[in-house]
Amino acid sequence: MFIVAMGTLELKQSLTGHRGRVWSVGWHPKGTNLASCGEDKTIIIWGLEGAKWVTKMILTEGHSRTIRELAWSPCGSYIASASFDATTAVWDKKSGQFECNATLEGHENEVKSVSWSTSGELLATCSRDKSVWVWEVNNKLASDDEYECAAVINAHTQDVKKVRWHPREEILASASYDNTVKIFKEDAADSDWSCVASMSSHASTVWSLSWDKTGDRIATCSDDKTVKIWREYKPGNDMGVATPNNESVWKCVCTLSGYHTRTIYDIDWCKTTGLLVTACGDDIIRIFKEDSDCDPHQASFTMVCSVDSAHAQDVNCVQWNPTIPGQLASASDDSTVKIWFYNE
Amino acid sequence: MNENLENINPKLYKKLDDREITVEEQDEDVADEFDAREVFDIIRNINDPEHPLTLEELNVVEQDLIEVDDKKNRVDVKFTPTIPHCSMATLIGLSIRVQLLRALPARFKVSVEISPGTHVSEAAVNKQLADKERVAAALENAMLLGVINQCLAPKN
């Protein structure tokens, strides 16, 4: 018999300031600031004053339509924002304040997601135009930053919802309306980016994905109301998983079904605690913990927390603080951003 | 009428009588839950994109194909395109969706789907209508929003 230790998710603060739907939140890499964006075409940067989170800065006029997602660079000096206006803006604070000094153009329509590689030298974007773009970042010089398109990858057959870099290597994962997740890598021989793995199992749109701390596993969430855990099997693996083309094969080792009642819009795998959190269209935030004694090739997770009406409407985004274990930020259609703390 | 209409002679259906307002509904102290008839009233007079007729007159929407669970904040609407190849199906669904988004309290989760078996691209249209990100992007398109607003504008 299992005894499940339930944790509690404590609401620390509800942040208001956005008008309309908030699509995304992102923690500064040091966990000291939070940025959020949405339908009102602004980015709000939040910071602590004493024990209270307050608005530190509001970035406007970078985009002419909804800002769908933002991402801090690993150094914390840049913010990239992806917009329905088909551009990605890069904001820097060389002048002391965050300013939009570069606009990356090329996608045919809405840009849905943006992600920095761990080195900060690559940026990835994806769009409803079905493509994934890899940009080389050249900001080593004191002069103006340059962003050069290194690859346009057309591996998906539909709208691409999310891109996320591997936590250590220059390997990219994307999730799509075509129900698949794909992995991209640069071929050392001809420096061409190509799709090296495709994961099919979800029965509808894959909205988001999150790598685990090591980069050996990926968690995905979908409109099919399930979460899936995928594991990488490298060529020559002990399990005897065949690896044609001498490339890693990704296998679904766990499906969490029956927990979510609507579309799951986001998932984040905490790099410090290993906890999984999901954002769902049923207004609920749920937290899952991996069972300590489970077989890694047939993983099992237990739901350790579920907060009904965490928001008054759909939860669009959840993200663990990268430095403070247990601290969580969420964004919702109800115009609010919330800060939470998870206690085991 | 122009000759490019897909369905030249659509079948017409009788309109429902106006809803009678009960004494209870007028009593401000009685909690008045949304029901299928009220939701039907919100969408029945949406104009068809090609014909000078309402969705009710074309039997695209029917009260019997609306499910409402006020306590669970759910509204599920099924609509029936006039012909199985109707290229306007997504636009009609989008119009219904927008009308309900504007008229119902934000707590409601609205689903708009094609009545099972009545359209060749049923699954694709349903998936698109259920994708709130794509719906949001579509509604930022001024031209498309203009067409939708035309469908939603009451006729005199």
Going residue by residue through chain A (344 aa), what tens digit of pLDDT does each one get? Answer: 455 668 999 999 999 999 999 999 999 999 999 999 999 999 999 999 999 999 999 999 999 999 999 999 999 999 999 999 999 999 998 888 899 989 999 999 999 999 999 999 999 999 999 999 999 998 765 567 889 999 999 999 999 999 999 999 999 999 999 999 999 999 988 889 999 999 999 999 999 999 999 999 999 999 999 999 999 999 999 999 999 888 999 999 999 999 999 999 999 999 999 999 999 999 999 999 999 988 889 999 999 999 999 999 999 999 999 999 999 999 999 999 999 999 98
Distance from the A4 Cα atom to the nearest Cα atom in chain B, whole angstroms: 28
Nearest to A130 by CA among A158, A149, A163: A158
Q: Which residues of A touch B145 (CB under 8 A)?
A: none
Residue A258 and residue A209: Cα distance in Å, rounded?
Answer: 19
Whether chain B has a CB inside 8 Å of the CB on A110: the answer is yes
**How far, CA to CA in Å, does A216 sit from each of A121, A168, A171, A234, A338?**
22, 11, 11, 10, 30
Whether chain B has a CB inside 8 Å of the CB on A11: the answer is no
pTM for this predicted structure: 0.93
Dihedral angle sign, alpha carbons of residues B128, B133, B135, B141: negative
Residue B9 and residue B13: Cα distance in Å, rounded?
Answer: 13
Distance from the A163 Cα atom to the nearest Cα atom in chain B, whole angstroms: 16
Could you identify the residue written with the tokens 């406007």? A60
Which three-class secondary structure string do you get for A39-92? CCCCEEEEEEECCEEEEEEEECCCCCCCEEEEEECCCCCEEEEEECCCCEEEEE
